[in-house]
Amino acid sequence: MTPLLFGLDDNVLLHEQLCHQLKAEPGRLERRRFPDGETYLRVLSACAGRPALIVCGLDRPDEKVVPLLLLCDLLRQLGASQVGLVAPYLAYMRQDMAFNPGEGVNAAVFARLLSGYVDWLVTVDPHLHRIARLDEVYRVPALALSAVPLLAQWIAREVVRPVLIGPDAESAQWVEAVAALADLPSVVLTKVRHGDREVEVSVPQVEKWSDHTPVLVDDIVSTGHTILEAVQHLHQQGLKPPVCVAVHGILAEAAEERLHAAGIARLVTTNAIPHTSNAIDLSELLASGIRQMVEGRY
């Protein structure tokens, strides 16, 4: 049965690329908002007995989740043989512990919520840190693909004499994996976070890399403050303007403008979240993961 692939966010290009690569039929949907802000959804494609897949990046999740859950439930009611979620960016993973008394482990709450509506999930480089594997919190098969080989290929191809820099310990898993694959030197800095937008980075000996191009590698750039701190310290130590490479460019609160104003050479992201900085295409990687899940090869 030809799968149906619904695009539920504004990543139109990725939806088209995935339809093409999977030979899937684009799902047709009528969608609008009632005057009171509630979501209206009507599925126009025949779903009975067919796999129904939804592509929906979960950056800025709170506004996307209600339409997503409504669509999952509707597809099931209409007889879809399976409902799969392709979320190139998976939200709430950074809330992976109660950092202060009175807080919740919202990564687990969010996982329980999604697990009640989908049969499986495919994502790319979720922020696995204190939660080491998705199956610790997801009750449905959840495949975490890695963009590391694609990052390594891009850096090796595009950057002259790169030295990889991780802005904090949580970036180490990405920086070290990219460094190993591309056979490049790497350094990981130490970050102390004082608030949502206040971070401080300490820099080990990096002057010896002054004839290299620093490449800051992280999984997520959100407000940009983590990268910004690192950029300022590299500048103080006389390094060249860095190239910043991230899997997920959330780029909240004018982050991109701030990074360019701080003197970065270039910002590069994958198309997990659509943005003008997208230079690394995830569609083939995602398509292979989706095929695996549709066929039940968990």
Contact positions toward ligand R5P, by CB under 6 A?
A: 94, 168, 170-171, 199, 218-226
Supply the minimum distance, in Å, between the C-beta of residue 130 and ligand R5P. Answer: 11
Q: Which is nearer to ligand R5P, 83 or 246 (CB)?
A: 246
User: Which is nearer to ligand R5P, 220 or 245 (by Cβ)?
Assistant: 220
**Closest distance of CB 191 from ligand R5P, Å:** 7
CB nearer ligand R5P, residue 17 or residue 278 = 278
**Least CB distance to ligand R5P at residue 24 (A):** 32
Tell me whether residue 4 or residue 187 sits nearer to ligand R5P (CB atom): 187
Tell me how far apart the alpha carbons of residues 37 and 185 are, in angstroms, rounded to a whole number. 51
245 and 159 in contact (C-beta within 8 Å)? no
**Shortest Cβ 238–ligand R5P spacing (Å):** 24
CB of 171 to ligand R5P, least distance (A): 5
